[in-house]
């Protein structure tokens, strides 16, 4: 018994020594940091809060992000991709294409997704050849398309179910093509938002409004609910020619639809284009919608990828703009600030966001979603495929591998972006015209 008591006293003593040393080390580091701060020198131990010393612009910005270390930032992630199973592509001849997936939703034990599907006799002839498009020859990958849907039990193997929204008879809106859907679940009903084209894409840009259909079941049947539900802006306003990529979430008891418009490109040429995102709000999915007075609320990013996060809204800026390849956050859902910089971002990213329609005041984020890859074939047989991405942008998940900044890619990834992809100037690449 004496030996047990003696061993116990020794263990307790050792534990107290360890705690004392640990506390002493922590206190010493705090003191050292404070001393360095007093000296006006940035400390070795990363400060949690901005030091009260003169800082460079870069050091100042560190403390504008959610955390000064990117590895600790819940709004930073790498993205990993997986091929989907269950979709046929006619051997990759360019006649079948699937792109622009909606946000996946879970109904009972089944995932549903809607997407743009083009199944034409020939591949698209290209934006610049739009004047040669016919009723059987598409101009672009999303021309002569319809909205299909598929189901899955695991988010990887999918079973195509058929057409959800078909092209109506001419001259009804969307007779040329219906594309780029997204889903809203509202008061027990399902609402599909999508773009409705009345001419081949590329003739005068992508001039098309947003239409909407609704159903009592994700399997349909779908009832046409209205056209031009998000109105164009007035002449010479940034969105007066298009309202693209509608993506609804429920916030503050209302439907908030983020949408895209390309501007600054016509009648000059496509290379001058810029992309902005707007916000339209309604009490009812069918409208009327009121545009936010600060539109565009986002000036970077190609497609719209928005989700509830904490008490606000986060967004992934893809491809376009000075702040491309960033994740941004706005507590009010309007005034976005950069939260992190990311790479290999999903095109047309559509996250599986469980609380997108719950009017949450504490959005939890997501760990996976769907996106697309463009030009999966050759230049003359181009088409798009839908893929899955996984990440850690969830407050309820913690996988350090997704937070790693040391991700390396094979040389082929870089060599695929060789100088042969540039139209060479006979006077020398990059030479300016006099």
pLDDT of 292 higher than 90: yes
Question: 234 — phi, psi (to 5°)?
Answer: -70, 165
DSSP 421: G
350-362 per-position pLDDT tens digit: 999 999 999 999 9
> Span 111-138, mean pLDDT?
95
Q: What is the pLDDT of residue 287?
A: 96
> Span 70-84, mean pLDDT?
97
Q: What is the pLDDT of residue 378?
A: 67
> Span 360-377, mean pLDDT?
92
**Where do the domains of the chain lie?**
1-41, 80-418
- Distance set, CA 305 to CA 81, 99, 426 (Å): 17, 15, 41
Tell me whether the omega of the peptide bond preceding residue 381 falls within 30 degrees of 0, making it cis.
no
Q: Please give the Cα distance from 269 to 128 (Å, whole number).
A: 11
Q: Which range is least confidently modeled, 33-42, 170-179, 220-229, 386-395?
A: 33-42
303 neighbors 260 (Cβ within 8 angstroms): yes
Question: If DSSP codes are grouped into helix, strand and coil, which group holds residue 346?
Answer: coil
> Span 13-20, mean pLDDT?
48
DSSP 265: -
Split at pLDDT 50, 70, 90, the class of 34 is low
Split at pLDDT 50, 70, 90, the class of 406 is confident
Q: What is the pLDDT of residue 413?
A: 85
Q: What is the pLDDT of residue 37?
A: 55
Nearest of 392, 373, 393, 386 to residue 113 by alpha carbon? 386
Q: What is the pLDDT of residue 331?
A: 98
Unique residue bearing structure tokens 């009121």: 290
Name the residue with higher pLDDT: 290 or 376: 290
Q: What is the mean pLDDT of the chain?
A: 89
User: 80-418 has which CATH code?
Assistant: 2.115.10.20
Q: What is the pLDDT of residue 429?
A: 47
According to DSSP, the residues that pair with 244 across neighbouring strands are 260
């Amino acid at each position: 018994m004496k030996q047990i008591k003696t061993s116990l006293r020794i263990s307790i003593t050792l534990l107290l020594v360890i705690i004392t040393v640990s506390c002493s080390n922590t206190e010493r580091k705090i003191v050292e940091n404070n001393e360095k701060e007093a000296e006006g020198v940035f400390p070795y131990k990363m400060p949690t809060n901005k030091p009260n010393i003169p800082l460079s612009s870069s050091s100042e910005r560190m403390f504008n992000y959610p955390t000064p270390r990117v590895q600790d930032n819940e709004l930073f992630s790498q993205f990993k991709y997986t091929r989907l199973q269950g979709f046929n592509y006619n051997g990759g001849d360019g006649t079948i294409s699937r792109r622009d997936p909606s946000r996946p939703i879970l109904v009972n034990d089944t995932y549903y997704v809607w997407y743009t599907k083009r199944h034409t006799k020939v591949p698209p002839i290209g934006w610049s050849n739009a004047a040669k498009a016919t009723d059987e020859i598409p101009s672009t990958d999303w021309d002569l398309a319809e909205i299909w849907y598929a189901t899955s039990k695991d988010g990887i193997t999918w079973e195509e179910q058929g057409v959800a929204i078909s092209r109506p008879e001419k001259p009804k809106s969307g007779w040329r093509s219906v594309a780029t859907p997204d889903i809203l679940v509202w008061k027990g009903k399902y609402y599909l938002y999508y773009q409705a084209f009345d001419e081949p894409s590329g003739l005068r840009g992508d001039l098309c409004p947003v239409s909407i259909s609704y159903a009592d079941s994700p399997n349909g049947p779908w009832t046409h609910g209205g056209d031009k539900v998000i109105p164009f802006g007035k002449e010479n306003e940034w969105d007066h020619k298009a309202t693209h990529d509608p993506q609804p979430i429920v916030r503050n008891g209302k439907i908030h639809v983020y949408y895209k418009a390309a501007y600054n490109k016509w009648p000059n040429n496509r290379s001058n284009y810029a992309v902005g995102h707007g916000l339209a709000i309604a009490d009812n999915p069918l409208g009327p919608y009121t545009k936010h007075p600060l539109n565009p609320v986002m000036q970077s990013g190609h497609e719209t990828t928005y989700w509830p996060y904490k008490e606000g809204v986060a967004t992934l800026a893809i491809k376009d703009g000075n702040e491309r390849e960033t994740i941004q956050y706005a507590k009010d859902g309007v005034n976005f600030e950069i939260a992190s910089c990311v790479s290999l971002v999903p095109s047309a990213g559509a996250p599986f966001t469980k609380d997108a329609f719950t009017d949450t005041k504490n959005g939890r984020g997501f760990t996976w979603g769907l996106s697309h890859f463009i030009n999966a074939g050759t230049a003359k047989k181009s088409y798009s495929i839908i893929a899955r991405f996984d990440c850690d942008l969830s407050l309820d998940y913690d996988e350090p591998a997704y937070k790693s900044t040391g991700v390396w890619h094979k040389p082929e990834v870089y060599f695929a972006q060789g100088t042969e992809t540039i139209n060479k100037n006979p006077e020398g690449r990059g030479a300016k015209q006099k």
